[in-house]
Structure 1
């Protein structure tokens, strides 16, 4: 771990556990902590100016998201990347998200379609991080009307696990206009199905989108040196 990989979090109003969770997760997603990297719990607590208790609790959260593995409560290791992991993550997402999206389309609560349309409009933003956040929010908003608390907890873990792959594999510092058009077309197809309250079309559109994402990720990471890939920073959209 670098001499000062993490920023102190004392003095903030948000809970220390939440702040540590965000800081370490961000370091993993940006590749500051590479796949397979080991770091000390005591050193992390020292750098962030905290006791070991909130640091361990935050690391347990990240372990639950599949991002790290705790080892005897003294150190942690960033979980390595693998093709099998991608298949497992997307296999579960394809089982859950299309059905929830289909049910949400038939429920059609007030503002649902408008909210989805507004998120697609944000795909035009010049800031790649803003585009990324809009895409993440689109998928959550899509299934929220029909999702239970357990559905959301499960999907949040899967989304977090998928995010580290997309953020490390894709370099979207500049988003080509053709890529923007492709994303808008895919998500507008989903939106049109939701607007029509057509469960079958919505289910098929979401399933096709996830399958395409999985296929592209697998193609991009197959044969790559994933450990080396994780050491570089990237700016996904």
Structure 2
């Protein structure tokens, strides 16, 4: 299938080809330019991105490990389908790993880390959608950083990447009213305030409520999509 307009060439960028290809395919999946279940050939993808097959294959393997891509055969792949069961599993693992780390991290951020938390909170309501979304991602990482070891962060980054495609369904940063922007900012401010207050139980409870609310909104959205696609 042709991919013109769905992914953008990365041939002129000087960064790592694999990193660039990974980022561009992830962007296309998260924004829906490459829709859930859509199949494409590695050859077409290489032509559209302006790189060889080698970085394409490595990028697809990375994205498969993050749950975004399914490698079909040697020459083709598909965007992983949306699934309530898949989404529930991701959030269940986040709850098991992220909550205790956030609780333990409460009150343990250095002055520099506190400043960074406030910066990320402000950036999370930026009108540039990519900047706002990256700040949201980095904020969750910063909240658990004082208590997280290398393996904690490695696993959580995989889960956060996997969460992104589901979060984009409901919390699309390119389609947001000022009221919704303020609402999202307020919800994340609750997390930052709890982290800085140093109350482990309150921090864990705040993050649990945050994740539970997101999970419910995403579940309802997917159920509605499935109902529209398969009317009785």
* Residue in structure 1 matched with residue 179 of structure 2 by the alignment: 178
The verdict on how the C-alpha distance between 1:129 and 1:35 changes in structure 2, with shifts beyond 3 A counting, is same
2 CA distance for matches of 1:29 and 1:226?
21
The aligned length equals 228
1:13-69 deviation per Cα after TM superposition (whole angstroms, max 9, x unaligned)? 211111111111111111111111111112212222322221111110010101011
Q: 1:101-116 counterparts in 2 under 5 A?
A: 101-116=102-117
Q: CA deviation at 1:207?
A: 1.2
The verdict on how the C-alpha distance between 1:21 and 1:107 changes in structure 2, with shifts beyond 3 A counting, is same
Gaps of 5+ in 2: none
1:163-206 deviation per Cα after TM superposition (whole angstroms, max 9, x unaligned)? 11121344454533432333233222222222221111111111
Q: Is contact 1:56-1:73 (8 Å) kept? A: no
Does residue 214 of the first structure (1) align with residue 215 of the second (2)?
yes
Higher relative contact order (CA 8 A, sep 6+): 1
2 CA distance for matches of 1:34 and 1:214?
21
Mean Cα deviation higher: 56-65 or 197-206: 197-206
Does residue 64 of the first structure (1) align with residue 65 of the second (2)?
yes
Q: 1:114-153 counterparts in 2 under 5 A?
A: 114-153=115-154
Does residue 2 of the first structure (1) align with residue 2 of the second (2)?
yes
The verdict on how the C-alpha distance between 1:219 and 1:205 changes in structure 2, with shifts beyond 3 A counting, is same
The verdict on how the C-alpha distance between 1:226 and 1:62 changes in structure 2, with shifts beyond 3 A counting, is farther
Gaps of 5+ in 1: 229-237
Q: Is contact 2:169-2:221 (8 Å) kept? A: no
Supply the RMSD in Å over aligned alpha carbons.
Answer: 2.1
Q: Is contact 2:22-2:62 (8 Å) kept? A: yes
1 CA distance for matches of 2:48 and 2:228?
25
* Residue in structure 2 matched with residue 161 of structure 1 by the alignment: 162
The verdict on how the C-alpha distance between 1:45 and 1:217 changes in structure 2, with shifts beyond 3 A counting, is same
Q: Is contact 2:120-2:136 (8 Å) kept? A: yes
Q: Is contact 1:122-1:130 (8 Å) kept? A: yes
2 CA distance for matches of 1:209 and 1:3?
37
The verdict on how the C-alpha distance between 1:74 and 1:226 changes in structure 2, with shifts beyond 3 A counting, is farther
Q: Is contact 1:94-1:211 (8 Å) kept? A: no
Mean Cα deviation higher: 176-185 or 76-85: 176-185
Q: Is contact 2:71-2:77 (8 Å) kept? A: yes
* Residue in structure 2 matched with residue 54 of structure 1 by the alignment: 55
The verdict on how the C-alpha distance between 1:209 and 1:47 changes in structure 2, with shifts beyond 3 A counting, is same
The verdict on how the C-alpha distance between 1:179 and 1:75 changes in structure 2, with shifts beyond 3 A counting, is same
* Residue in structure 2 matched with residue 231 of structure 1 by the alignment: none
Q: TM-score, with normalisation over the residues of structure 2?
A: 0.88
